Amino acid sequence: MEKILVGLKRVVDYNVRIRVKPDNSGVVTDGVKMSINPFDEIALEEALRIKERGEANEVIAVTIGPADTQQQLRTGLAMGADRAILVETDGDIEPLTVARIMLKLLEKENPGLVLLGKQAIDDDNSQTGPMLAALWGRPQATFASVLKLSGDTAQVTREIDAGLETVEIDLPAVVTSDLRLNEPRYVKLPDIMKAKKKPLETIPLAELGVDATASLQTISVEPPPVRAKGVRVSDVDGLVAALKDKGLLN
């Protein structure tokens, strides 16, 4: 396989406490630590392991967003990606638009495998991977916990509600990573320094000819309701009584 293309999304770091803006128009991102979406980081780690096994020659990291997103691409390069592509835009991008943008890059790069996170931790849509596969007209395997390549096929173990499912798909294909696929490597300082010399291409969104007009409008964003204080019981009888008081038992 010549190339693996990996999508990376810039999100608020999972350790940061999310705060809603005072006008309820979204969440606060100014001055907040941003990171690679954890599931995308797992996808990149898997691509790097495939390359290290000699099953691919190049790993390309791709992201869509403002100029600041270069920071996350540089992290991907420090992890081991060979080069990076930033499709630059300042507007919010919906999953279908992301899939259309990615398709343009696939037509240019012609990778043998596309790896994405199964979802982003900011919107939890889980839509981009399946949409991209549909537009590309290629097979897909989502929620991958094991990925094995063999010639022109890939065997993927998927995590589903009933347990595990193993499927075999033809390549090229789109695979989205689950949490248990691997544990991403730690980025060391020498790798960060080397990443500064690796190529990072910036493409304005307008050059790709993709219509980024939003089809959805966010009306309001609100924090979840404050949870009521719990009640501690000393035995089963106390538990039953507490449940009856709340109307959960007759």
What is the mean pLDDT for each group of 10 consecutive residues in the chain (250 residues)? 94 89 86 92 97 96 94 95 95 90 95 96 91 96 95 94 93 95 93 92 93 86 84 88 84
* Residue at 50: amino acid letter: I
Pick the closest to residue 40 from 112, 126, 108 (CA basis). 126
Q: Which domain CATH number covers 202?
A: 3.40.50.620
**Residue 250 forms part of a structural domain:** no
What is residue 28's three-state secondary structure? coil
Give the count of domains, the chain: 1
Bridge partners (DSSP) of residue 62 are 7, 85
- pLDDT, residue 168, reads 96
Angle at 162 between CA 160 and CA 168, to 5 degrees: 50
Q: Which residue type occupies 90?
A: D
Q: What phi and psi, each to the nearest 5 degrees, are found at residue 204?
A: -60, 140
What is the predicted pLDDT for the residue at 101? 96
Amino acid occupying residue 227 = R
Using an 8 Å Cβ cutoff, are 198 and 73 in contact?
no
pTM of the model: 0.86
The answer to whether position 238 is within a domain reads no
Instruction: Report if residue 234 sits inside a domain.
Output: no
| Strand partners for 166 | 157
SS3 185: coil
Q: How far is CA 220 from the centre of its chain?
A: 24
Residue 128 belongs to some domain of the structure: yes
**CA 163 – CA 198 distance, rounded (Å):** 41
Distance from C-alpha of 71 to C-alpha of 67, rounded to nearest angstrom = 9
- How far from the centroid of its chain's Cα atoms is residue 116's Cα? 6
Among positive and negative, which fits the CA dihedral 72, 74, 79, 81? positive
Please, where are the H alpha helices in 10-147?
Answer: 38-52, 70-79, 95-109, 128-136
Cα angle: 50, vertex 44, 172; to 5 degrees: 60
CB atoms within 10 A of CB 200: 17
Q: How high is the pLDDT of residue 83?
A: 96
Per-residue pLDDT reduced to its tens digit, 161-219: 888 999 999 999 999 999 999 999 999 999 999 999 999 999 999 999 898 888 888 88
CB 107 within 8 A of CB 228: no
Q: Could you tell me if residue 249 is inside a domain? A: no
Residue 247 domain-assigned?
Answer: no
State the residue range of the domain holding 198. 3-224
246: exposed, middle or buried (Cβ count in 10 Å: 0-12, 13-18, 19+): exposed
d(CA 1, CA 234): 61
Q: Is residue 142 part of a domain?
A: yes
- Segment holding 239, helix H or strand E: helix 236-245
Residue 246 belongs to a domain: no
According to the model, what pLDDT value does residue 26 have? 84
